[in-house]
Amino acid sequence: MKINKEIRDIILKRLLVTLGILLFIRIGTFLPVPGINHSDLAFYIQSHSVTRSLVSTFSGNDIFVIGLFTLNIFPYINASILIQLILGFSPKLAKLQKEGDFEGKRKINRLIRLLTLIFAIIQSISISLYLRQILFDWNYGLAFEITIWLTTGAMIILWLSELITDYGLGNGTSVLIYTNIISNLPSLTRAIFIENENNLSIFYQIGIDLLIFVSLYGIVFLQEGVRIIPLISSKQLSQVSIFSQDSLTTNSYLPLRLNQAGVMPIILTTTLLVVPNYIINLGVLPKFDLPINFESFKFIYWIGYFGLILLFSSFYSTIVLNPKDLSDQLQKLAVTIPGVRPGIQTTFYLQQLIKRITFLGSTILATLVTIPNFLESTLNITSLNGLSTTSLLILAGVVLDLFREVKNIYYSNVYNNMYQ
């Protein structure tokens, strides 16, 4: 793929737009919200692990500042997850999304923005109320100001992410998540060397590096893996001869991705397992003791984790891919799968095929996520702490999406020059 000056200028312009927006967001993350005494906050964080975990979730491991962009893209992510779940139970919204017209997409996007605002307000109020036990000069007026600042920052982030999507490189939401992960790598690397300075044997490091390499290889395979279904149109079928039929079926195909759900099953599983305990630690719900010691049942916990990822992968794939809709679309286009009759047989064939692909993809995904985490908790390995398979999956996915977008820009420019 030879890139000429015109294509290079387009890519450079988009790259500069993306980097400029990311730099602006990074500065806004360190811009303190007015009214908060960050000395009190830093002192409290140092002695309370729950608060440190809360702040690091939004701002980073070593950042003790509640800034304008503290909420970042998280309200939008929550809104998108909720919309995806609603689509599975609301035929009206699902039909609106499948119609694919401009007006339908606008309505869905408007709904996501509204939910983003609601989640931003809820998260801002939660942070404002939580600061009550930290700030000596806390009052309801200050809480209202903090809520307004954080909500405004979250909506600005949403607007900037849409600018990246439209005028920059990559999907704005994915790029922001990618940036958050990358920004934590220096402190993570430092923590790895400090925590494991007595365990840095050659075999130990080789094992960790091998595990990371296998995880990365599996992630790329999972992200890029597709099942090719050959297709043939009725027009081609009527024109083709017996001798050229086999070669003709390879010209058109239906690609089915191995991992249709992406990281959504991991997010849903983690939310289901972590949020209840997190709410209890915050003091919202009362603590209660069970007669079972869960520390001695780690194996059962990770089996449940594995099973939940399989369950959510199957559930989410049924939302993304509907065999009946695919069969109807093929029939409308007068396209068939060789050896399969249109209509009910095509629907049944696609249903069975999607089940097998989903099971294979979800099994690989669950294995890639569960095994490194299981080894961490069971063998007390801390070298992978903070660099989970989920993070690697997001990093690899964003990089691959960027490569695809660059290729799309290249081919779009080539075709435009051909027809001018």
User: Which tens digits make up the pLDDT trace of 327-359?
Assistant: 888 888 888 888 888 888 888 998 899 888 888
The verdict on 240 and 158 lying in the same domain is no
Claim to verify: residue 218 and residue 81 sit in the same structural domain: no
Asked if 169 and 282 sit in the same domain, the reply is: no
Confidence (pLDDT) at 9: 85
Give a yes or no: residue 303 inside a domain: yes
Say whether 268 sits in a helix, a strand or coil: helix
Give residues with Cβ within 8 angstroms of 255, minimum separation 6: 226, 227, 228, 229
Q: Is 234 in a helix, a strand, or coil?
A: helix
What length is written for the chain?
420
**87 shares its domain with 214:** no
Q: Do residues 263 and 175 share a domain? A: no
Residues 133 and 38 in one domain: yes
Q: What is the pLDDT of residues 370-416, one digit of tens each?
A: 777 666 665 555 555 555 666 777 777 788 788 888 888 877 777 77
Model confidence at 36, pLDDT cuts 50, 70, 90, reads confident
Q: Where are the alpha helices (DSSP H) in 257-297?
A: 264-282
pLDDT at 244 over 60: no
190 is a domain residue: no
**Do 165 and 80 form a contact (C-beta atoms < 8 A)?**
no
Per-chain mean pLDDT for the chain? 76
Q: Whole-prediction pTM value?
A: 0.73
The number of domains in the chain is 2
Final residue of a structural domain among 119, 154, 183: 183
3-state class of 335 per DSSP? strand
- Write down the pLDDT at residue 153: 93
Question: Taking 90 as the threshold, does the pLDDT of residue 114 lie above it?
Answer: yes
Distance CA 383, CA 397 (A): 23
- Average of per-residue pLDDT across 178-188: 75
Residue 245 shares a structural domain with residue 113: no
Tell whether 247 and 358 lie within a shared domain. Answer: yes
CA separation, residue 375 to residues 207, 294, 380, 383 (Å):
11, 17, 7, 11
Question: 272 with 410, same domain?
Answer: yes
| Same-domain status, 113 and 261 | no
Q: Identify the pLDDT of residue 151.
A: 94
The predicted pLDDT at position 162 comes to 92
Enter the tokens of residue 105.
Answer: 């997409």
Given this model, what pLDDT does residue 155 score? 94
Instruction: Please give the pLDDT value at position 369.
Output: 79
pLDDT of 240 reads 53
Question: Model confidence over 245-279: pLDDT tens digits?
Answer: 444 445 678 888 888 777 778 777 777 776 666 56
Q: CATH number, domain at 346? A: 1.10.3370.10
> Domain range holding 112?
1-183
Q: Which value, in Å, is the radius of gyration of the alpha carbons in the chain?
A: 25
- CA dist 85 and 259 (Å) reads 18
349 in a structural domain: yes
DSSP readout, 301-312?
HHHHHHHHHHHH
Are 131 and 203 in a shared domain? no
Q: Of the candidates 150, 183, 216, which is a domain's last residue?
A: 183
CB distance 21 to 168 below 8 Å: yes
Tell me how many helices (H) and strands (E) the chain has. 17, 3
Domain boundary among 183, 217, 239: 183
Whether residue 1 sits in one domain with residue 68: yes
Burial class (CB in 10 A: 0-12, 13-18, 19+), 384: buried
